[in-house]
Amino acid sequence: MEFKAIVDVKARDAADCAVVGVYEQGDLGVAARQIDAQTGGLIGKLHANGDFAGKVADVLLLPAPAGTAAARLLLVGLGPRAGFGRKQYRKALQAAAQAVGKTGAASATVYLALEDLADLDIGYRARVVAEVFCVNAYKVPDLKTAPKPKASKLHRVSVATDTARAARAATDGLTAGEAIGSGIALARDLGNLPPNVCTPTYLGNRALQLAKEWPSIKAKAIGEAGIRALKMGAFLAVTQGSEQPPRLIVCEYRGAKRSVAPICLVGKGITFDSGGISLKDPPAMDEMKFDMCGAATVLGALRAVAELKLPINLVVVIASCENMPSGTAVKPADIVTTMSGQTVEILNTDAEGRLVLCDAITYARRFKPAAVIDVATLTGACIIALGHHFSGLMSNDDALAAELAAAGVRADDRAWTLPIGDEYVEQLKSNFADIANVGGREGGACTAASFLWKFAKDLNWAHLDIAGTAWLSGSQKGSTGRPVPLLVDFLINRAGAK
């Protein structure tokens, strides 16, 4: 989809659809006032007649009245002017993108960025426009044999601004939003594929393909022999019950001098998690194809960074395998030696994510990273704690945690800080090894993160538990692409700070 910024405060752009905002109580937005004046008070009459109340995300499509250049006029409710902010703006845009996509419009000009949004500059407003329209255009890569529904004709979206300077800032915002949208689409595609397609080998090949598409990325996919040579005993324990070979996927993006320490994103890539010998209950086990969404999101973030050509160095490390039950599978009470040399007693084979991640975090040390952020669908306990609204955020660095939390707020992809510490490590004591891989039900998300903390000592490290945010269940089942927006916002701001 093509995005551009234009200077057109009066809704005169000859697009197929003009998108204008209306507040409640008949309070018209900037462009709506202009159109109302041009059409003899049409919008005001619609409100007075009760045909359009202006509630958040209300939409009303009208044939363009005389005096406007657009072929269609879409009114979008903004809610009360006094409460208009980040959430309402995004909701209004989501409603607009869905409504325009259902029409025959090939182009649309969005005037909502002209509205007064305190502390949200035009670049941010434009970024959200591009991101929302990209996300709305996404189609699940299904394998249905029925004829596919016709795709939306919409291929160009413009954002109206009031000055040439604002148009330049909006152009930068649109570029960022489009890159984030592309990263989300990649993450969703990978997450939505069936596990017999998206195997560790497939995931590794997709990373190699990404490197071919973007010359700034170098990638390699290390097989089982290489993983064994690295002495990743915890990673190998998880994969030993599956016939699918594992992959350690390593991607490097260089956008800054080699002397600049990279940010390292570590992704959990369990392409199917049966629970192993500690077998999961059958209901919703099909959703365990989403257990590689941590890997998918770090690849999505990498793609966005390459598209934006950010002046930053980034390393992505993914530990990918299946967790399956078989005669060769790891058993409860088995003890393995990790890449770090620490030993782990495996009390529950369904707590496998922390096993592959601890070795991946140790591997990341060789890059001397400025920060390590692991992303994983790690614990059901995080869903109990935070529901499906916030990702869990744990860190041994308060400043890094604050950066990530702030990025989540800006990106509307929020994370909530949960504690880690020696108190939780106490729950992981083992009579037979340095540490156990589970510590009881109490504080499950915190004990899992504290397990990883043991392997991240002296690193600037953070952990994002996305078990509650990476996918949706029920009739809307599918990957969400979270937390690609959070990660890319964090990296954009890190790049700007250099």
Helix residue ranges, H only, 249-339: 293-308
Q: Which one of 91, 247, 303, 354 is the catalytic residue? A: 354
**Which DSSP symbol is given to 13?**
-
498 is catalytic: no
Which among 146, 78, 144 has a CA at the least distance from the CA of 111? 78
Q: Which one of 81, 86, 220, 280 is the catalytic residue? A: 280
φ/ψ (deg, to 5) at 245? -70, 145
In angstroms, the CA 229 to CA 110 distance is 55
Name the β-bridge partners of 250: 220, 317
E strands, 47-145, in order: 59-63, 72-79, 107-110
Q: Hey, what are 484's tokens?
A: 């690609």
Q: Hey, what are 249's tokens?
A: 């996927």
If phi over 0 gives left and psi between -120 and 50 gives alpha, with beta otherwise, what is residue 459? Answer: beta
In angstroms, the CA 489 to CA 415 distance is 13
* Dihedral (Cα; 213, 263, 378, 219), 10-degree rounding: 30
* Dihedral (Cα; 36, 37, 39, 42), 10-degree rounding: 40
In angstroms, the CA 391 to CA 32 distance is 38
The identity of residue 134, as a single letter, is C
Which among 62, 51, 146 has a CA at the least distance from the CA of 100? 62
In angstroms, the CA 59 to CA 49 distance is 16
Q: What are the b/e assignments for 250-266, b being 16+ CB within 10 Å?
A: bbbbebbeeeeebbbbb
Q: At what angle do helices 86-101 and 122-137 cross, to 10 degrees?
A: 40
168 is catalytic: no
Q: Active-site positions? A: 280, 354
